[in-house]
Amino acid sequence: MDLLEKCRAYDRADEARDAGLYPFYPAFQGPAEGGQAVLDGAEVCVLGGNSYRALSLHAQVIGAAQDALALYGTSATGSRLLNGNLDLHEELEADLAGFFGYEAALIFGTGYMTNLGVVSALAGRGDHVYLDEKAHASLVDGARLAKSSGAVVHQFAHIDTEDLARQLAAGSTTSVLVATDGVFSMEGDLAPVAELVAVCEKFGATLLVDDAHGVGVFGRGRGVIEQAGMQGRVPLMTLTFSTSLASQGGAVLADAKTVDFLRHTSRPQLFSAGLSPADTAAAHAALREVRRRAEAEPDALSAAEFLRRALDAVGYDVAASASPVILVRFPDQLSLLSAQRLLLEHGVYTNALLPPACEGYQLRITCTDAHTPHVLEAAIGVFAALREDLLPRYRQMA
Ligand code: PMP
């Protein structure tokens, strides 16, 4: 059997394709944001994106990217260590550190690379990593790399600080990294940041919060750490630019010595090109906009609360959550994919989540500031109208 035999035998995606229910890799013809996107030539309302502050079409964000493109060209063309470092990167790092209340920041090519690069550089032989069992794949993969250089990796039960405390109490070292998402984008719930801080401080462990989905949304834009009143008590925070900051890239925030260590040791930093000028400038302009709007609660949160209640009222099985992520449970793959397709045919785009990405079969709906009451009413009308098509099957199978 040759290496590629497994590819030829792979038919999981074909099953859904053959049934006309394949939900992945939709190719939007234009921006995949807000109330009016175009998919397969038809107008759709995107209730399945991560652009929580709807900034990817903001005039100043686009303008900043265009200016950077004109002044710096298309690419940083190399590792920042040697030749790809721009003043744009350093200016953004200084502002990120200031806004989030850390001594320093370091930008990476994506949020995924940030977590991979931070966890694998900080943990190795003699160190222990404890991950929330639902932590993002990038933290998991960072831990796998750390394991390959000798770290011992553990999981604790999802948002269960007692389980974490039990495990840390039984351990024998304080050279420990505890890593969690701030907002769990596949579950919609928030990490118990204050409790995690208490446990980590008690056992001398170092806490990392990946706040990819909390930044821009919670805590006056500063994310779940600020929301929990824990500013200054979480030594490591990571984030992506691909959600509220409407760009591409990611960053870690930490004390100056840790950032300097990462600048010189983290392999995804050293062996990959600096972020492109346009992406850097777009993220910076979006950060300014998030800062400008800091005192106003994001519309994304009230939109999600409104939609969550409306879906619950018409009989959908909606999971509890306090984030812009709404999860509607379905009993099996067929009912989920059929629902996703039917909604799309009626102009509402949502995400179908299947194992192993999550537990069970869930429709993920995300709200952003672009979901005005008018847009939401229209979407709720579709969910209500399809209720009879979707719910009987639901009940039969539940
Ligand atoms: N962390 C979390 C929690 C995420 O959900 C994601 C993906 N949105 C990432 C990291 C990776 O971010 P990026 O898309 O910038 O690679």
From CA 128, how far away is CA 143, in angstroms rounded?
Answer: 9
* Cα gap 389→295, rounded to integer Å: 42
Residue ranges of the chain whose pLDDT lies below 50: 398
Q: How far is CA 262 from CA 116, 232, 239, 267, 330, in A?
A: 12, 20, 15, 9, 43
Closest among 264, 281, 277 to 82, alpha carbons compared = 264
- 211 CA: nearest ligand 1 atom: 3
Phi and psi at residue 373, to the nearest 5°: -50, -35
Torsion angle of C-alpha atoms 46, 48, 50, 54, degrees rounded to 10: 20
Q: Which amino acid is at 238?
A: T
Question: What is the CA(34)–ligand 1 centre distance, in A?
Answer: 20
Residue 394: what pLDDT? 56
From the list 47, 50, 43, the residue with the least C-alpha distance to 346 is 43
Residue of 180, 177, 121, 182 whose CA lies nearest to 153: 177
Confidence (pLDDT) at 356: 84
Report the alpha-carbon distance of residue 398 to residue 383 in Å, rounded.
19
Q: What pLDDT, on the 0 to 100 scale, is given for residue 398?
A: 46
Is the CB–ligand 1 distance for residue 287 below 6 Å? no
pLDDT of residue 396: 54
The tens digit of pLDDT for each residue in 217-247 reads 999 999 999 999 999 999 999 999 999 999 9
Give the whole-angstrom CA distance, residue 138 versus residue 217. Answer: 21
Asked if the domains at 5-52+298-397 and 59-292 fall in one CATH topology, the answer is no
Tell me: domain 5-52+298-397, CATH 3.30.70.790, correct? Answer: no
Give phi and psi for 101, each to the nearest 5.
80, 40
In contact, 210 and 139? CB cutoff 8 Å: yes
The number of residues making up the chain comes to 398
pLDDT digits (tens, 9 = 90+) for 27-71: 999 999 877 899 999 999 999 999 999 999 999 999 999 999 999
Q: State in Å: Cα 5 to ligand 1 middle.
A: 31
Closest C-alpha residue for ligand 1 atom 15: 111
Topology given in CATH for the domain delimited by 59-292: Aspartate Aminotransferase; domain 2 (3.40.640)
Burial of 210 (0-12, 13-18, 19+ CB in 10 A): buried
Nearest to 253 by CA among 83, 88, 92, 81: 92
Distance from the CA of 67 to the center of ligand 1, in angstroms? 27
Taken in order 264, 267, 268, 272, the sign of the CA dihedral is: positive
The confidence score (pLDDT) of residue 321 equals 87
Which two structure tokens, joined as six digits, stand for 324?
């812009």
Residue with CA at minimum distance from ligand 1 atom 12: 111
Domain extents in the chain: 5-52+298-397, 59-292
